[in-house]
Amino acid sequence: MCAVSVSLRIGYWLGQSLSFVGTQVTAVALPLVAALTLSAGPGQVGAIATAGMLPNLLFSLLVGHWVEGREHRRIMIPADIARALVLAVIPVAALGDWLSIPLLVMVAFLTGVAGVCFEIAGFAYVPSVVDSNDLPAANRAVQGSSTVAEVAGPGLAGLLVQAVGPALAIVADALSYVASAIGIAVGGSGKAAVAPAAETVRAERRARLTEGLRLLVANPYLRALTMHAAVYNLAAQIFTINLVLWMVQGRQVSPAAYGLALSAGGVGAVLGTLTALRLAERMGFGRAFAASLLLSCFVPLTVAGLPLYGTPWPWASPPSCSSPASDSATPTSTPSPCGKPSSRPTN
């Protein structure tokens, strides 16, 4: 194994592993910053989520064309540094008492833009620094780290939010992007990319775009899958945005328990990956796909059977904010540590 491959596995892989975990921290903590620190409603949390995903829709094609012929590391390292600096604004704003929903929307959008640049450049980075014989092992290592982060990350994030609060927990993600930038720097610059002629690039882009659209329109299966993906992802986002508000505000579930619930989703994803091909072999791809859709759409409906407010699980509730009782009997309304009026007897 060459020295470059070794440096990638030690540097790049470790940096990406930390970055994957940090990303899960922000995925849990950012909605909680809005829900708990700013008492945001569904529309405000939805605006933050939309701002984070909008760059993928707006800039993916543009960035994909832009990175062609450029050294990927020179895009990835600034993107990591930009994400770290932008996310660091949240804890600073929380400590300075100028945190707001518009600020979170802007942070989510700018982080998303940098993320698009990083992901598209990173897609071609590993093959440029690893020999073809080592590429499968390198991809498995990176993908394995991503899977572990998806399973364990939300639970760790919930514990971190429970310990230091959602705004300060964002620091962990900012530091993880610094670690990622260091790992990329250690991993090497890779093979130099050769920029083709401008006319050739424009012609190839037009041909790929036209061919892709023609294939999508002409193939009924691709049309149906595209429509399904759009509607399913829309519904999933609506469910996820309201889930965090319903759990932490309506049912008073602690951040640690909320993160644990999200980790259970990661476990389910791993189990689904392990059983998908076996299920398809037994039922056929079409029936297996339909069965998975029925299961994934039916399970969220069970939430409707749970009470809207309060929680039957004492371990899932945040610490009590009630004042201790005393000898007298005349209650007066006083502010509680949770920001809500509480009844306290007076002498």
User: What ranges do the domains of the chain cover?
Assistant: 3-145+154-304
Closest CA to 107 of 286, 98, 320, 255: 98
Question: Could you tell me which residues are beta bridge partners of residue 333?
Answer: 343
In contact, 10 and 141? CB cutoff 8 Å: no
Give me the pLDDT at residue 320, please.
44
Mean pLDDT to the nearest integer, 218-234: 83
Query: Pick the residue with more confidence: 216 or 58?
Result: 58
The b/e string for 308-335 (b: 16+ C-beta within 10 A; e otherwise) is eeebeeeebebeeeeeeeeeeeeeeeee
Alpha-helical runs (H) found in the chain? 3-7, 13-32, 42-67, 73-96, 101-123, 125-129, 135-164, 166-187, 198-218, 220-245, 255-283, 285-298
Give me the pLDDT at residue 203, please.
61
**Does the model's pTM come out above 0.85?**
no
Mean pLDDT to the nearest integer, 129-157: 75
Mean pLDDT to the nearest integer, 106-129: 84
- 204: pLDDT confidence band, cut at 50, 70 and 90? low
Residue 91, class by beta-carbon neighbours within 10 Å (0-12 exposed, 13-18 middle, 19+ buried)? buried
Whether the per-residue pLDDT at 32 is higher than 90: the answer is no
Neighbour tally for 144: CB within 10 Å: 12
Whether the per-residue pLDDT at 321 is higher than 50: the answer is no
Whether the per-residue pLDDT at 101 is higher than 90: the answer is yes
Close Cβ partners of 53 (under 8 Å, ≥ 6 residues apart) = 112, 237
Whether the per-residue pLDDT at 107 is higher than 90: the answer is yes
**What angle in degrees, to the nearest 10, is found between the helix axes of 255-283 and 285-298?**
160
Q: What digits encode the pLDDT tens for the residues 211-222?
A: 767 777 788 888
Q: Which of 34-48, 134-148, 270-284 has the lowest mean pLDDT?
A: 134-148
